[in-house]
Amino acid sequence: MLRVGFLVSGGGTNLQAVIDAIKAEKITNASIEAVISNNPNAYALTRARENNIDALCISPKTFDTRDDFNKALLKKLREYRLDLIVLAGCMVVLPKELIEEYRNRIINIHPSLIPSFCGTGYYGLKVHERVLERGVKITGATCHFVDEGTDTGPIIAQKCVEVLEDDTPEILQRRVMEQAEWIIMPQAIDDIANGRICVVDGKVKHIK
């Protein structure tokens, strides 16, 4: 059984998609052991509690130094003996040590087709604002492993979504979530839990 932990900051709709997929047995061999938020008011924490999943807040604001926060986060993650860490709307910059320790065991969901509209400054609604400004016709989402860069790790899955003429950033964000994020993130977790993917030379290979 793959022990999965989530790092979140907000609404947690991607977390919900994974909870639902586990219940529906679309994801097998995986269990969510903990949901950790830097934001005490994140609705993702409520979603976790409603599903009897440990829900914790570890906020940098409650520590004297960033280093103290990093240590506390790392300690907590180790306590849960996680096999996979899922970033789902996580707005915290991860400690380097965490990325090294969990190499190819941390995944993120990004709301564009990487390498477009990604990197520093591209998060949340900003991504969709830039997509609309540029007049892009096709966007989507990418699920990828996390490395030291911003949105640079090996790509696991991508799904495209049509941009429509009357879209606002909010409407487009919702469509990207519904048609891409909530599908490829659970799929990626199921693939990892069932040993269907590996990373070779910095690229994800799907094992037949």
Positions annotated as catalytic residues are 110
Q: What is the largest CA-CA distance in the chain?
A: 49
**Residue, CB closest to ligand GRF:** 89
Alpha-carbon gap, residue 15 to 44, rounded angstroms = 7
Q: How many CA atoms lie within 13 A of 79 on its CB side?
A: 10
Q: How far is the CB of 65 from ligand GRF (least distance, A)?
A: 26
Give the C-alpha separation, 73 to 122, whole Å: 24
Classify residue 200 as left (phi > 0), alpha (psi -120 to 50) or beta: beta
Burial class (CB in 10 A: 0-12, 13-18, 19+), 56: middle
Residue keyed to tokens 């409407």:
171
Shorter beta-carbon distance to ligand GRF: residue 26 or 71: 26
Span of 9-17, 132-140, 164-172, 197-205 interacting with ligand GRF by CB under 6 A:
9-17
* Count, residues near ligand GRF per rule CB under 6 A: 16
2/88 with CB nearer ligand GRF: 88
Contact between 140 and ligand GRF per CB under 6 A:
no
- Under rule CB under 6 A, residue 88 binds ligand GRF: yes
Q: Identify the residue among 10, 140, 153, 154 touching ligand GRF (CB under 6 A).
A: 10
Cα separation, 34 vs 84, whole angstroms: 11
Stretch binding ligand GRF (CB under 6 A), from 7-15, 49-57, 144-152, 154-162 = 7-15
* Chain positions contacting ligand GRF, by CB under 6 A: 8, 10-15, 44, 88-89, 109-111, 124, 177, 181
